[in-house]
C-alpha cells in the first residue's frame, strides 16, 4: 500500500493526452447503405448526450490510459515513478497491475442512475484499450479482469463489460463497445523477437503474413465474443486508426509515426459478422475514412459549424481520459455550454468519466451530473430529437430546431450559473416570416415580443430580470 501511495503521488501530475493528443476528423464521409444501420444511426443522432468510460488496471497508478508503455517520446507517453528509468522494468510493473486490480466498489447501477438523471442516453465503455488488458471475459487471452491472476475475478460481477452493458441496457440506453484495434500485449502485434519502436506493429505484416493472420484472427474472435455474448450492442467504437489498410496514394495520417506497413485487419469481415449478430450495428472505425466510419469523432473539440454527416464530440469531464487523483473537472456551466454548442451544430456529446481503482467515480462527477440533471429537467426538450438551424449561433445565443414541429429553441448561455436577463433580448432569426408564440422554459410568465425583420425582440418582465430560478441558460421556445 505504501508503494502504491508513492506511485500515485508521483503520477498525479501527468501530461494529459486529453489536451496533447486529439484525433482529427475524417475529411470524406461515406453514408451507410444498410437500411437498418441508417435507422439506428438516425435514432442515435436524436440521443445527443452519452457517457464514455475509460477504465483499466492503469487507474491504480492514476496515469494516462495505456500510453506510458508506448515507446514514443510524446508528452502523453512520459513514464514517471519508481519504475520509469528502465523501459522493460516499467512494462513488467505495468503488466503486474493485473495482480492487484480489485475494484470492489464496482456498482454499475449507481452509475446508470446518475447518468440517466443527467439526461445521458447512451454509453460507450472501453472493453479493451491499447495495452491489451480486457475488461471482459475473453477466451483469447488471460490478460483480463476475469483471470485468476486478477483479485477481482472472484467477484460475481467480475465480467464488468457485461455488467455495465446489462445495467445501462435495462434503463434503455444504447450500448457502445469501445475496442482497441492495436494490442500492445499481443505477441502477434508487438512480437517479442523485435523491439517496439512506436505504437505500430513492430514487424512487417507482408513479410510475416502468418503472424499477422494470427493477430487478425485474434481481433476478429474478440469482437465476435462481444457481439455474441453481451446482449444487444448498438455501436462498435473502434480506436487506433493507425491499424488500417495502407494507401500509398494518401498522405500519412498526422497521428501515425509510420505508415510504411499495411495493417489491414479486414474490416469488411468484422463488420459483416458484427451486423449478422447485431442487426443495424453502427461501426465507428474512427479516423479511417470509408464505409466503416458511420460517424466521425472529433476529440476534445467542437466544430465551429455544422458538419454534413453524423458526428460526435468525445470529450473528458476532467483533464484526463482515465482516472487521475484530484483531477480538475469541468463545471456544470462549462458542460452545459459544451452540450448546447455541440447540439446546435447537429452533433452529439460523448462525455468521458474515468472510474477509479476502487470501482467508483470521483464524488465530484456525481455532483456535476446532478447539476446537469437540474438543467435538463427545464431545457431538455430543446436538446433531444433536434436538428441544427441557421444562423446556428449569434454571440451567446445558440439555436436548435425540433424535428417534429416548427419550433426553434434559442439558448442564451450565461457566463455564470445564475442567469440574469436584460430588459430586452434580441434574437436574430433566419428565414422566419412570422412567429406564433414565444415562451421562456422554466417560467410561466407571459412574454411580450415582436418580430422586426430578422430580429425577434423579447421584452423581459422586471420580476424575471434578476430574480428567477434559471441556471446556465435562458432558453426561449419560439413557435412559428
The confidence score (pLDDT) of residue 38 equals: 98
**pLDDT-derived band at 180, boundaries 50, 70, 90:** very high
Query: In this structure, what C-alpha cell is assigned to residue 396?
Result: 451567446
20 has a pLDDT exceeding 90: no
Tell me the pLDDT tens digit for each residue of 382-422. 999 999 999 999 999 999 999 999 999 999 999 999 999 99
The confidence score (pLDDT) of residue 65 equals: 96
The confidence score (pLDDT) of residue 277 equals: 98
Q: How many of the other CB atoms lie within 10 Å of CB of 395? A: 9
Arithmetic mean of pLDDT over the chain = 93
5-19, 66-80, 243-257, 350-364, range with the lowest pLDDT: 5-19
The confidence score (pLDDT) of residue 249 equals: 41
- Read off the pLDDT of each residue in 273-285 and give the average, rounded to a whole number: 98
The confidence score (pLDDT) of residue 467 equals: 82
Question: Which carries the bigger pLDDT value, residue 1 or residue 464?
Answer: 464
Tell me the pLDDT tens digit for each residue of 199-242. 999 999 999 999 999 999 999 999 999 999 999 999 999 999 99
Tell me the pLDDT tens digit for each residue of 310-369. 999 999 999 999 999 999 999 999 999 999 999 999 999 999 999 999 999 999 999 999
**pLDDT-derived band at 254, boundaries 50, 70, 90:** very low
Amino acid at each position: 500500500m505504501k508503494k502504491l501511495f508513492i506511485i500515485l503521488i508521483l503520477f498525479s501530475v501527468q501530461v494529459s493526452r486529453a489536451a496533447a493528443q486529439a484525433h482529427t476528423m475524417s475529411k470524406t464521409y461515406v453514408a451507410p447503405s444498410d437500411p437498418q444501420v441508417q435507422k439506428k444511426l438516425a435514432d442515435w443522432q436524436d440521443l445527443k448526450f452519452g457517457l464514455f468510460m475509460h477504465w483499466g488496471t492503469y487507474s491504480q497508478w492514476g496515469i494516462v490510459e495505456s500510453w506510458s508503455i508506448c515507446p514514443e517520446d510524446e508528452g502523453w507517453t512520459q513514464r514517471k515513478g519508481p519504475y520509469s528509468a528502465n523501459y522493460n522494468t516499467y512494462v513488467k510493473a505495468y503488466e503486474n497491475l493485473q495482480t492487484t486490480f480489485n475494484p470492489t466498489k464496482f456498482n454499475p447501477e449507481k452509475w446508470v442512475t446518475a447518468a440517466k438523471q443527467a439526461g445521458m442516453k447512451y454509453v460507450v465503455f472501453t472493453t479493451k484499450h491499447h495495452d491489451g488488458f480486457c475488461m471482459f471475459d475473453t477466451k483469447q487471452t488471460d490478460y483480463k479482469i476475469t483471470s485468476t491472476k486478477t483479485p477481482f475475478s472472484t467477484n460475481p460481477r467480475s465480467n464488468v463489460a457485461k455488467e455495465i452493458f446489462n445495467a445501462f441496457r435495462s434503463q434503455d440506453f444504447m450500448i457502445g463497445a469501445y475496442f482497441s484495434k492495436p494490442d500492445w500485449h499481443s505477441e502477434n502485434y508487438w512480437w517479442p523477437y523485435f523491439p517496439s519502436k512506436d505504437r505500430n506493429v513492430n514487424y512487417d505484416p507482408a513479410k510475416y503474413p502468418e503472424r499477422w493472420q494470427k493477430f487478425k484472427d485474434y481481433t476478429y474472435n474478440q469482437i465476435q465474443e462481444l457481439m455474441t455474448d453481451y446482449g444487444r450492442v448498438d455501436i462498435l467504437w473502434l480506436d487506433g486508426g493507425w491499424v488500417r489498410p495502407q494507401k500509398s496514394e494518401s498522405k500519412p495520417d498526422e497521428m501515425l509515426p509510420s505508415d510504411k506497413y499495411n495493417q489491414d485487419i479486414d474490416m469488411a469481415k468484422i463488420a459483416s459478422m458484427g451486423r449478422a449478430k447485431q442487426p443495424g450495428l453502427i461501426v465507428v472505425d474512427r479516423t479511417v475514412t470509408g464505409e466503416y466510419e458511420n460517424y466521425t469523432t472529433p476529440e476534445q473539440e467542437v466544430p465551429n459549424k455544422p458538419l454534413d454527416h453524423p458526428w460526435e464530440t468525445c470529450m473528458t469531464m476532467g483533464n484526463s481520459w482515465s482516472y487521475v487523483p484530484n483531477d480538475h473537472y469541468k463545471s456544470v456551466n462549462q458542460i452545459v455550454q459544451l452540450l448546447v454548442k455541440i447540439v446546435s451544430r447537429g452533433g452529439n456529446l460523448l462525455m468521458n468519466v474515468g472510474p477509479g481503482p476502487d470501482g467508483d467515480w470521483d464524488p465530484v462527477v456525481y455532483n456535476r451530473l446532478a447539476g446537469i440533471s437540474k438543467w435538463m429537467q427545464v431545457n431538455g426538450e430543446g436538446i433531444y430529437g433536434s436538428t441544427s438551424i441557421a444562423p446556428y449561433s449569434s454571440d451567446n445565443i445558440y439555436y436548435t430546431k425540433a424535428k417534429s414541429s416548427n419550433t426553434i429553441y434559442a439558448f442564451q448561455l450565461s457566463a455564470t450559473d445564475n442567469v440574469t436577463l436584460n430588459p430586452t433580448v434580441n434574437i436574430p432569426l433566419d428565414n422566419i416570416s412570422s412567429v406564433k408564440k414565444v415562451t421562456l422554459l422554466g417560467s410561466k410568465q407571459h412574454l411580450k415580443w415582436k418580430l422586426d425583420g430578422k430580429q425577434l425582440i423579447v421584452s423581459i418582465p422586471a420580476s424575471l430580470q434578476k430574480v428567477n430560478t434559471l441556471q446556465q441558460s435562458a432558453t426561449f421556445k419560439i413557435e412559428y
